[in-house]
Amino acid sequence: MTLPDTKSREPKQARSRQSFEKTVEAALALLEERGNDEFTLAEVSAHAGVSIGSIYARFQGKDELIRVAHGRKMDDIDAVSGHLFEALRLAPQAPLKSYAQEAVNLTIEILRRYADILRPFMLRATQDETISKRGAASHAMLAARFAGVLRAWPGGYLGQSDIDWSFNVAYSVVARRLGLGSTTEGSGDVEWPDIAEKLSGMVASYLLAELDGSNRESAGP
């Protein structure tokens, strides 16, 4: 597990480690329940069944606890994301739309699964550099996995900048729908299957158009 660059470290003794784990899990539970970081260490203590003294023995304060909890959750999300993308299998003869559909579907699945905990972390990232950098690393990892699916399509070379644009648009649409990065829940009556269908169609159409343009430029007059 990758911990943030703070003085807090996981203890080696079993009993101390158990208190450490309970404290981190309690912080995550409160973040997910409240949708923000507006809780006290006293509430963490009560939720975890760990004394305030034990918490301060492991963490310098609430800010550090939240950073450690964030690092823990990002590691979990990265691991699940890796498993889902690595398990994906597509037939070589499948059209680009099918590759785009799978990449979009997995992106939606990951963001929907973790939306309730990502929401408070994204709000905090605007004022916490440690959380912002760690979140950006996970975002980049998801983008790379999305790109890996599309690059596996054997029908032609897809430019990295075009794939990046496609991911950023798809991610932004899903994040907005889930209310990530804002203080309000996303709205809209469109169902997720329809969102996935439209996004994958957009991605495939855009990439094919860019590929066609590149091929025509290569062919010359």
Position 185 pLDDT exceeds 60? no
216 has pLDDT over 60 = no
Question: Residue 63 in contact with residue 85, Cβ under 8 Å?
Answer: no
Question: Token match 């911990």: residue?
Answer: 3
Q: Which residues contact 145 (CB under 8 A, 6 or more apart)?
A: 81, 82, 85, 106
- Mean pLDDT over the full length of the chain: 89
pLDDT, position 100: 97
pLDDT in tens, 116-149: 999 999 999 999 999 999 999 999 999 999 999 9
Nearest to 122 by CA among 187, 74, 166, 164: 74
Interacting residues of 118 by C-beta distance below 8 A, sequence separation 6+: 111, 180
- What's the confidence (pLDDT) of residue 214? 64
Which tokens is 23 given? Answer: 């404290």
- Exposure letters 202-215 (e unless 16+ CB within 10 A, then b): bbbebbbebbeeee
DSSP symbol at 157: P
Q: Residue 220 — very low, low, confident or very high, per pLDDT cuts 50/70/90? A: very low
pLDDT digit string, tens, across residues 69-106:
999 999 999 999 999 999 999 998 999 999 999 999 99
Instruction: Read off the pLDDT band of 182 (50, 70, 90).
Output: low
Least Cα distance to 206 among 180, 149, 167, 176 occurs for 167
- Our measurement of the distance from residue 3's CA atom to the centroid of its chain's CA atoms, rounded to an integer in Å, reads 17
Q: Spell out the alpha helix ranges (H) of 35-126.
A: 41-48, 52-58, 62-86, 96-125
Looking up tokens 């495939």 gives 204
Six-digit token pair at 137? Answer: 């690393």
- Locate 132 and state its tokens: 């912002």
Which among 65, 62, 172, 70 has a CA at the least distance from the CA of 120? Answer: 70
| Helix, strand counts (H, E) of the chain | 8, 0
Q: What is the pLDDT of residue 7?
A: 46
Q: Which two tokens stand for residue 42?
A: 């006293």
What is the reported pTM? 0.88
**Mind listing the pLDDT tens digit for each residue in 10-56?**
666 666 789 999 999 999 999 999 999 999 999 999 999 999 999 99
**Tokens of residue 170, six digits:** 């798809």
